[in-house]
Amino acid sequence: MAKITQRQAGSQNIVAFLDMLAWSEGTDNGRQSTNDHGYDVLVGGQLFTDYQKHPETLVALPKLGIKSSAAGRYQMLKRTWNALREKHGYRDFGPLNQDFGCIELIRGRGALADVMAGRFQDAVQKCRKEWASLPGAGYGQHEQKLERLQAIYVQAGGELAS
């Protein structure tokens, strides 16, 4: 069997981290009735079908006393997506661009090198203000437990730094 390179391990860690974020945000964790692995989920659980642009749907969340435009696998807000689209030239809100956008958000939080190197806890700490479901986010929404997120990450093929 060929030895896996550091670059290949880093790429797999990115994929696993994205899968963990989708699970954490509740878009791809088996509870949704979607075949698109969460790329088609609005905050609150409704689905959308048009990937031409961010759905821009403002959903009331009475339990939290807020309205949110979060959508897609990584629950990106309309304003966040629009900034990413403008900066990187994304033509649609399709799955590939959602993945690219999510990676850019991780990079923007200074966590991409941590993700690639398997420094899971450091990456989550740096990303917690981007995703309300991460532990320590402090947005008043349900935050997942770090241990459970790490287990999801490892189950998705992520490797932890020694």
State pLDDT tens for residues 120-143.
999 999 999 999 999 999 998 899
Pick the catalytic residue: 25, 104, 143, 159?
A: 25
Pairwise CA distance, residues 48 & 62, whole Å: 21
Q: Determine whether 25 is an active site residue.
A: yes
- Give, in order, the Cα–Cα distances in Å from 125 to each of 27, 100, 115, 132, 143: 21, 21, 11, 12, 13
What pLDDT does residue 141 have?
87
- CATH class for the domain made up of 6-155: mainly alpha
Domain ranges (residues) in the chain = 6-155
Grade residue 1 by pLDDT with cuts at 50, 70 and 90: very low
For residue 110, what pLDDT band results from cuts at 50, 70 and 90? very high
98 near 14, Cβ under 8 Å?
no
